[in-house]
Structure 1
Amino acid sequence: MHPKRLFIKDFLYKLPEERIAKYPLPQRDESKLLVYKDQSITEDTYYNLEKYIPGNSLLIFNNTKVVEARLLFQKSTGSIIEIFCLEPADIYADITTAMLQKGKVLWKCLIGGAKKWKDEPVIKIIKNDLKEFKFTAKKIEKFTDYFLIAFSWDDDSLSFAEVLHAAGSVPLPPYLNRTAEETDKERYQTIYAKYNGSVAAPTAGLHFTERLFQKLDQKNIQRDFVTLHVGAGTFKPVKAAIMEEHEMHTEFIDVRAALIENILQHIDKTVIAVGTTSLRTIESLYWLGVKTILNPTIYLESLQVYQWDAYDVDAENISAKDALQALLQWMKQHNLSSLITKTQIIIAPGYALKIAKALITNFHQPQSTLLLLVAAIIGDDWRRVYNYALENNFRFLSYGDGCLLYPVAV
């Protein structure tokens, strides 16, 4: 069945409020780990992850960095305007370029208290490393799903990423129902986060520590990195009755040619995605490669993955190896050492993994596209896995525990 015809009500389960982890554990790698393999369930902790992964495997992590995207401005009347930065305006080539802008930048944002904000700019004075600078936000235009905001600041030595770090706060997921605290600046960030751009953490990676990496190294379990900047759309609820009526969010990905070469070297071994964002990225690579095979002269601007490509593009006879080699060849022809593009891929029941052999992920919200992704991997057993987790005191969502899922053999 085509995923367009899936009913979202079939992916409902009861998640009690008390099972949502409001805070992380003191030690990252002491989070519980549910292992689903060969249709059986066992449990352990992340610290012992290497026991459940074959030697010579390749783990793919998302090294995006969460930015302090939540901004509060106080009007002269005393009322508070909350601005949530979503993504840069379309004039920028990618998020990194926009984050490095100095003096001014255009950004797509959500606004809390929008009715209280007319046309006048809002201003706040920010103290940063014993200096002060004036930070201004001006509303430019209203669109269906966002406002276009012009930010400016009177210290041209600062990039927008640095301004956000000084002026903003960590945008915790709405289901935590609490304000960000000082400890969230560190804990809502992976230890390997590198490139500014996400408004939500790739939470499967929050469990990894240097001591865990050392244990993985001892078993020759390698790791490599992609960059997918997580947008607020990751929390976008599915309000449509059937998936055909739901528009999947689009996110920026940045992938090095060296990463694709590394995957090719492990394509006949075990490639494991750490997190749904890593999975969406490496599976998107397959479809990008397919597009270069079907259309060798495709332009960079057209080389992206749309929502239903994985089900509507005819790639029956194209292997993962062929697709990745074709993508590398296309990048070489265009003198690209890395590929920056967008993906809107939706992984749902009916999808067969092309590159990944397993997934490490947290437990997700009911009726979410992330739960559809889990169901694509382990089929109807997602209910058995989630019921086990609920009955055995696993903690759910961003700061919760997680699982290692091997696909059901077909």
Structure 2
Amino acid sequence: MHLSSFDFELPLSKIAQRPRYPRGSSLLLRIKETGLLDLKLTHIASNIGEGDVLVFNNTRVLKARLFGRCGNRAIELLMHKKMDKGLWHALVKPGKAVFKNSKIIISDTFVCTVVDKLSDGTVILSLSSEEEEDFASIEKYGHMPLPPYMKRNDDKQDQIDYQTVFATDYGSVASPTAGLHFNEDILEDLKKRGVEIEFVTLHVGLGTFKPIKSQDIRDHVMHEEWACIDERTSRRLNNAKRAGKNIVAVGTTSLRVLESAIDGLGMIQPMSGTTDIFITPGYQFNSVNMLLTNFHLPKSTLFVLVCAFAGERLMKQAYEHAIKGPYQFYSYGDACLIDLVKSG
């Protein structure tokens, strides 16, 4: 499968720099084998049946971008993953400015020391601060890790906009953006209509957004990301499956958790561990019937995934429709609700 098959032209004007306000007013493109339908996110309840299940990713985005100095050089850190108390894996820019034992001064009371510099240019950092918890130090001095295609600095509004209303445990360096469309009123309306709401966790790391560099996409290797489904949630999802109800993954991260937890009989098992699942066309989905997701980058693992979910022809048709229409793309963009199209 050649990478060029998943490319398309996207005008810069289609890349959302801010979400639609208020939260919940996004546009929604309904994508089915029988055609496309222009809707609004507020119409989602009429497209989900009583007893169907929406599965959200409840990870919380960490203000993982830190700015400091190493000697006379300005340094930017992206705190990627906590390895142990006071010990973190991070990306650093410029990488040539730091070495083993370099000290990066974030503030008078917050210092990151380079314990090791890895072959890929990332670093292992030892944190020293006045805060007892690492997360507290990073949250105090950090900035929201907006994607690089947003050509601006983060601000206070992003601390609201780039976090879902149901976020719980810190762990992500990017938002599970499909969940950003939902406010408390929409969630409550869904519940009143008999739609079940469940939560899984995938801490979004480098794996989700790592660009595909190999021309044959099958050669691409994902970074591992931590994921969790508890026993209660897996049991309720399996009960819904047995009852013939639709399982709707809200976001590609939720979908990847569910598919990582499928056993040989097509049932969703509890899990707590890492996943590096990379879904490409030809993959047989076993956990869900529908996917709600944003509009993704060309030649990305996420666009490859939606092509696997509904077929390349249909998704390219849908994206062409969205580009010609009023839809906005990427993290702060609009959403689409896609039916699973069985391959073969």
Give the TM bin, normalised by the shorter chain. Answer: over 0.9
- The count of corresponding residues between Structure 1 and Structure 2 is 338
Please say if residues 33 and 404 of structure 1, whose CA atoms lie closer than 8 Å, have aligned partners that are also in contact: yes
Question: Matches of 2:125 and 2:96 in 1, distance apart?
Answer: 15
1:276 equivalenced with 2:252 (yes/no) = yes
Please say if residues 75 and 94 of structure 2, whose CA atoms lie closer than 8 Å, have aligned partners that are also in contact: yes
Structure ID, larger Rg: 1
Q: What is the CA distance between 1:151 and its match in structure 2? A: 1.1
Matching residue of 1:139: 114
Matching residue of 1:320: 266
Alignment of 1:11-410 (within 5 A): 11-77=6-72, 79-89=73-83, 98=84, 101=85, 105-118=86-99, 119-125=101-107, 134-145=109-120, 146-155=122-131, 158-267=132-241, 268-286=244-262, 289-290=263-264, 319-321=265-267, 324=268, 327=269, 339-379=271-311, 380-409=313-342
Query: Aligned-pair RMSD on alpha carbons?
Result: 1.4
Please say if residues 360 and 405 of structure 1, whose CA atoms lie closer than 8 Å, have aligned partners that are also in contact: yes
- Name the TM-score, length of structure 1 as normaliser: 0.80
Question: Matches of 1:122 and 1:10 in 2, distance apart?
Answer: 43
Question: Which stretches in structure 2 are left out of the alignment for 5+ residues?
Answer: none
Q: Which amino acid aligns with 1:193?
A: A
Question: Matches of 1:9 and 1:351 in 2, distance apart?
Answer: 19
Q: Which amino acid aligns with 1:29?
A: G
Residue aligned with 1:349, SS: coil
Q: What is the CA distance between 1:152 and its match in structure 2? A: 1.4
Question: Matches of 1:72 and 1:138 in 2, distance apart?
Answer: 14
Q: Which amino acid aligns with 1:277?
A: T
Question: Matches of 1:344 and 1:233 in 2, distance apart?
Answer: 7
Q: 1:155-186: per-residue Cα shift (whole Å, max 9, x none)?
A: 4xx31111111011000011112111110011
Question: Matches of 1:382 and 1:249 in 2, distance apart?
Answer: 25
Runs of 4+ in 1 over 4 A off after TM superposition: none
Q: Which amino acid aligns with 2:250?
A: V
Q: 1:204-247: per-residue Cα shift (whole Å, max 9, x none)?
A: 00000111112211210110100100002322111110023211
Q: What is the CA distance between 1:125 and its match in structure 2? A: 2.8
Question: Matches of 2:218 and 2:260 in 1, distance apart?
Answer: 20
Please say if residues 254 and 340 of structure 1, whose CA atoms lie closer than 8 Å, have aligned partners that are also in contact: yes
Question: Matches of 2:147 and 2:274 in 1, distance apart?
Answer: 23
Residues 80/49 of structure 1: CA separation in 2 closer, same or farther (3 Å cut): same
Q: Which amino acid aligns with 2:326?
A: N
Q: 1:336-389: per-residue Cα shift (whole Å, max 9, x none)?
A: xxx321111111110121010100000000001101110011102111010010
Please say if residues 137 and 151 of structure 1, whose CA atoms lie closer than 8 Å, have aligned partners that are also in contact: yes
Please say if residues 68 and 107 of structure 2, whose CA atoms lie closer than 8 Å, have aligned partners that are also in contact: no
Question: Which stretches in structure 1 are left out of the alignment for 5+ residues?
Answer: 1-5, 90-97, 127-133, 291-318, 329-338
Question: Matches of 2:212 and 2:200 in 1, distance apart?
Answer: 27
Deviates further, 177-186 or 202-211: 177-186
- Name the TM-score, length of structure 2 as normaliser: 0.95
Question: Matches of 1:125 and 1:22 in 2, distance apart?
Answer: 30
Matching residue of 1:334: none
Question: Matches of 2:277 and 2:342 in 1, distance apart?
Answer: 23
Question: Matches of 1:75 and 1:385 in 2, distance apart?
Answer: 48
Please say if residues 39 and 408 of structure 1, whose CA atoms lie closer than 8 Å, have aligned partners that are also in contact: no
Question: Matches of 1:121 and 1:29 in 2, distance apart?
Answer: 44
Question: Matches of 1:66 and 1:39 in 2, distance apart?
Answer: 37
Deviates further, 194-203 or 175-184: 175-184
Question: Matches of 1:245 and 1:264 in 2, distance apart?
Answer: 33
Q: 1:95-120: per-residue Cα shift (whole Å, max 9, x none)?
A: xxx4xx4xxx1111111123233443
Please say if residues 293 and 336 of structure 2, whose CA atoms lie closer than 8 Å, have aligned partners that are also in contact: yes
